[in-house]
Amino acid sequence: MVGQRFPRRAAVLAALLISACSAFGGCATTTALEPQNTVRDTKTARLYFIRPSTIIGVAVSPDIKINGKLIGNVAVGSYIYVDRPAAKYQITLDHEFEPGSFSYDVALKPGEDHYFQIVQGGPPNRVVIIGNNATVVGVPSKQGPFQITPVDAQTGQAMIGRIKS
């Protein structure tokens, strides 16, 4: 009996999330601020930002910044890529309605591919209200509501393949 209830609860939750997305003008979308059909230049490195399909976080997508410059955002079940010359970069994920941000430093070499999985579920955040002041606590440095995990090329390509199919 318990085993039968969980799928029903999951289905109800999914239906509620879809309804909520529709009511608020749609779920989060993927926006790439750089072309996604460029021919690969061997003098640059390519960075893929992949957000696998999941029911968690369908209504929000994090802003992805490289060295402080917005490159786009990635909705659930999608990906974007950017090309960058060899150098050291800082990748930052944040969201305007969620406190905290996540940063990751990477050194790029020409011809390399880097795959990053975006996951939601940073540390728990709390808002403490004292009088007229509200303070967010529980967001350590380099952590936020979204995080990236580097994955190897085989895993990254498989994740992209599942999104494309």
Residues 66, 105: Cα–Cα separation, whole Å = 10
- Taking only the tens place, the pLDDT of each residue in 134-155 is 444 444 445 667 888 899 999 9
The predicted model scores a pTM of 0.71
- pLDDT given at position 64: 94
- pLDDT given at position 131: 56
Q: Are 96 and 63 in contact (CB under 8 A)?
A: yes
Residues 39, 49: Cα–Cα separation, whole Å = 18
Comparing 92 with 4, the larger pLDDT belongs to 92
Which residues, including other chains, have CB under 8 Å from residue 2's CB and lie 6 or more apart?
A: none
Strands 63-66 and 44-51: unpaired
pLDDT > 60? residue 14? no
- Taking only the tens place, the pLDDT of each residue in 86-118 is 999 999 988 776 666 788 999 999 999 999 999
According to DSSP, residue 37 is labeled S
